[in-house]
A and B are shown apart, each in its own frame.
Chain A
Amino acid sequence: MAMLLELRHVSKAFSNVRVLQGVDLTVEAGHVVALAGENGAGKSTLMKIITGIYHRDSGTMKFQGKEVQFHNARQSMDAGIAMIHQELNLLPALTVGENIFLGRELVNRAGRIKWSEIDEQSRFWLKQLKQDIDPREVIANLSIAQQQMVEIARALSMNAEVIIMDEPTDALTDVETKILFDVVDQLRSQGKGLIFISHRLGEIFQLCDDVAILRDGEMVHQCPVSEIDQDGLIRHMVGRELSEQYPYVTAKSAPVRLQVSQLEAKGVKGVSFAANAGEVVGFAGLVGAGRTELAKAIYGANRPTSGTVEIDGQAAQIRSPIDGVRAGIGYVTEDRKLEGLIQSQGLRSNMSLTGLFQFSSPLGHLDKKAERVAITEYINAFSIKTHGIDAVVSQLSGGNQQKVSIAKSLVPKPRILILDEPTRGVDVGAKREIYNLINDLKTQGLCILLMSSDMPELLGISDRILVMSHGRLTGAFEHNDADQESIMRCCTVA
């Protein structure tokens, strides 16, 4: 069988954080390769390197036997590599046909677009997918599943030799999934190479020929699917032992601090749980399981539609972050850049923003001296490396920015702290510091909710782990009985 795609020793780092380390990957003609790995293992980065969106720092890539170096997505597309993205990449205001041929419009010699031909070809590719969608329909009027099918038709229409599918079935119903699998079989028999990324392990065994497993940016295993079973696959995915990296402090028994009952909000369906003072409650789940949405609903950033929240036995009406801060909730957002810190401004103004009333009189006069003293204390206590209290935040490393972000939500002295992916984009050393910080805060009696996609981290420092899937709670584990495989099973409950 001919080798279509061959990667050797590919490495990639983002501002000193290693994301991929010496990765090998081969795709043969007529084979479907499953790419498995946890969130953050480096799957998306690897795919973006193959399609030229990112550039590899080192290593080689051969496509159809020839050494290639793509500088942008267009070049890889022209060469014959198509990618179906997890998040839909369609322009909602344009028609189906316009989207399928976006950037490759069929034109006559005068430059006039040949609409009838675009319609005809669009209809042809959609028919391959057994879809009866009008090419003149506007994308926004289609269901998510139909949009996904348009995206797939777009990839097929490029006549690519290698097709990458990133979680293509996430948005599809069973009927469409079946159709997609038939199409994949067809492509396989045509001798195309496919890379299939899915969190649904069952699909891997049902559909794929080979499986490649990424863990922490390294390719730990690639073999034919027939040589591995589901348990083996999970073992390779989660791999490592829980070592010293996760210092765990036993929680003391304490009264209930937070009681959430039947909370409903965007992406959250009837969630109920309790969390104690001096306890770290971890939330596991796949991307899109509703953990961030839950965090935002509790804090008030997304307004809950029904359900109640009680703090220290008192009902709390939280409709906006203003209420959330007042009720004693601190929220460290998942997205530091867009939601967490004002990148263009200094440490001081960022850190004191949420708790500014601590340093100001009722009329609003700011006591800058008190502010300076308090902020300097946080900088020292969290050992934030900076050359000054007014240094611009964007110049700090990821780890230091994260510490600034945590300090910011601690300044108003909250009773509950919600940490959403607190170690994402943070290197190993700084991660360890953040874990110690979480433990300190926990022993000081703070109630901490920890949303994380880093499973070993969750297992390592949470007192309890709650699992979410499709907006619901699907599992609960005590620190001592939690293991990755059981959690993973709860994560994939439909």
Chain B
Amino acid sequence: MKIKEFASENISLIGLVILMLLVSIASPSFLSVDNLLNILRQTSINAVIAMGMTFVILTAGIDLSVGSILAFAGAVCASMIGADVPLLVALFATLSIGALLGATSGSIVSFFGVQPFIATLVGMTMIRGATLVYTEGRPISTGDYEVANAFYEIGGGYVAGIPIPVIIAFVVFALCWYVLNYTRIGRYVYAIGGNEQVAKLAGINVSAVKITVFAISGALSALAGIILTARLESAQPTAGLAYELDAIAAVVLGGTSLMGGRGRITGTLIGALIIGVLNNALNIMDVSSYYQMIAKGGVILLAVVIDRRGK
């Protein structure tokens, strides 16, 4: 009974372990330290976005605008670095823009009663458009001031042998875990997803909480934009296309219910890792990128079906 319970509670973790075992049998080079660190670094961007997405989905919402916010924030950040704006100022301003864009979607959802799907679909389209206008459709260079070199460290640097994006993702994870499990607003997020009417009648400021979760999602998308721009040493206007799908997939693979109210941030981390391992494995096994998409979709479907049957 205990084992069965553990299994159904941690099905995504078990899935990840099995996947890693299978891949390491098929390709021995998979388990090398270099490759594992590589997977973590590749996963970190999706993990950061997916953790913000988890907040939104826990309130029974969805955020389709994450990829567009990533691109816009990345472009703005790149031009600030290119203009020799002090690093901390540039980072803070970029995160604020992300939070503000998210909060705008949240306000539209809260005050005009627009479905999150529609509100963020509009956001996704308009922010992508704004990015193309702002960049005139061309990549934005981060320039060659001194500050640019410090900026690149965010994407490509190491601390004690661990890539900085991985460290950032882990800090974000720890913060999200704390907020969801040990704060009032975390409890409110679950309550609103569980039953919005009950939450309202319990005297919770539902609008404020919804705006906050979209702001968190926006800020984390901007953070992902910073990491990507620093890694590529320039901002692409088409960056982050379809990233919302990988983020949603990570959340769902992690066992969070799209109906809201149920799920864990740990699950999202594992979900992001499953997608990362899968991408990496298909690459080192030389599977063509066309087939990779089919394989990825299949694995997600399988995981979700197993999860449903366990319920």
B-binding residues in A (CB < 8 A): 299, 301, 320-322, 324-326, 331, 333, 338-345, 349, 352-354, 356-357, 360, 364-366, 368, 408
Contacts and interface: CB of A to CB of B under 8 A. Distances in A.
Contacts of A357: 184
Contact of A366 (B187, B191, B202): B187
A338 B203 CA distance: 15
Contacts of A345: 190-191, 194, 261
Given A345-B190, A349-B187, A366-B184, 20 more contacts: A321-B202, A322-B205, A324-B203, A325-B202, A339-B197, A339-B198, A340-B198, A341-B195, A341-B198, A342-B191, A349-B190, A352-B187, A353-B198, A354-B203, A364-B183, A364-B184, A366-B183, A366-B187, A368-B182, A408-B202
B213 to A, nearest CB: 14
B201 A360 contact: no
B184 A325 contact: no
B201 A331 contact: yes
Contacts of A339: 197-198, 201
Nearest to B185: A364
B138 interface: no
B204 interface: yes
B203 A360 contact: no
12 contacts: A321-B200, A322-B203, A333-B201, A341-B195, A342-B191, A342-B195, A342-B198, A342-B199, A344-B261, A345-B190, A353-B204, A366-B187
B296 interface: no
A360 B183 contact: yes
Contacts of B183: 360, 364-366
Given A357-B184, A364-B184, A349 B191 contact: yes
B156 to A, nearest CB: 35
Interface in B199-240: 199-205
A348 to B, nearest CB: 10
A365 B203 contact: no
A440 B203 CA distance: 25
Contacts, number: 72
A216 to B, nearest CB: 31
A332 B225 CA distance: 47
Nearest to B197: A339
Interface in B29-81: none
Nearest to A322: B203
Interface string B169-205: 0000000000000111111101100110111111111
Contacts of B187: 349, 352-353, 356, 366
Nearest to B188: A356
B186 to A, nearest CB: 8
B203 A325 contact: yes
Contacts of A368: 182
A34 to B, nearest CB: 37
A357 to B, nearest CB: 7
Output the residue of A301, A324, A333, A342 with the most chain B CB within 10 A: A342
Given A342-B191, A344-B261, A353-B191, A365 B197 contact: no
B262 to A, nearest CB: 6
For the complex of A and B, 3 pairs with smallest distance between CB atoms: A325-B203, A342-B194, A354-B202
Nearest to B261: A344
Interface in B63-109: none
A378 to B, nearest CB: 16
A324 B203 CA distance: 7
Contacts of B201: 299, 301, 321, 331, 333, 339-340
Contacts of A325: 202-203
A167 B273 CA distance: 60
A24 B295 CA distance: 64
A338 B197 contact: yes
Nearest to B191: A353
Given A366-B182, A366-B183, A342 B203 contact: no
A365 B184 CA distance: 6
Output the residue of A301, A324, A338, A344 with the most chain B CB within 10 A: A344
A338 B185 CA distance: 22
Contacts of B199: 342, 353
Contacts of A360: 183-184
Contacts of A366: 182-184, 186-187
Contacts of A299: 201
Given A342-B261, A365-B183, A353 B202 contact: yes
Nearest to B208: A322
Nearest to B262: A344
Contacts of A349: 187, 190-191
A391 to B, nearest CB: 14
Contacts of A322: 203-205
A365 B204 CA distance: 16
Output the residue of B183, B184, B188, B190 with the most chain A CB within 10 A: B184
Contacts of A342: 191, 194-195, 198-199, 261
Contacts of A352: 187
Output the residue of B185, B186, B194, B198 with the most chain A CB within 10 A: B198
A30 to B, nearest CB: 48
A344 B194 contact: yes
A333 to B, nearest CB: 6
B63 to A, nearest CB: 22
Nearest to A323: B203
A300 to B, nearest CB: 8
Contacts of A331: 201
Output the residue of B195, B205, B262 with the most chain A CB within 10 A: B195
Nearest to A409: B202
Contacts of B184: 356-357, 360, 364, 366
A343 B195 contact: yes
Nearest to B186: A366
A380 B188 CA distance: 25
Output the residue of B184, B197, B203 with the most chain A CB within 10 A: B203
A268 B198 CA distance: 23
Output the residue of A299, A324, A326, A349 with the most chain B CB within 10 A: A349
Contacts of B205: 322
A356 B187 CA distance: 9
A338 B201 CA distance: 11
A349 B187 CA distance: 7
Contacts of B182: 365-366, 368
Contacts of B204: 322, 353
Contacts of A364: 183-185
A127 to B, nearest CB: 42
A320 B198 CA distance: 13
A142 B90 CA distance: 61
A340 B198 CA distance: 6
A25 B51 CA distance: 61
Contacts of A326: 203
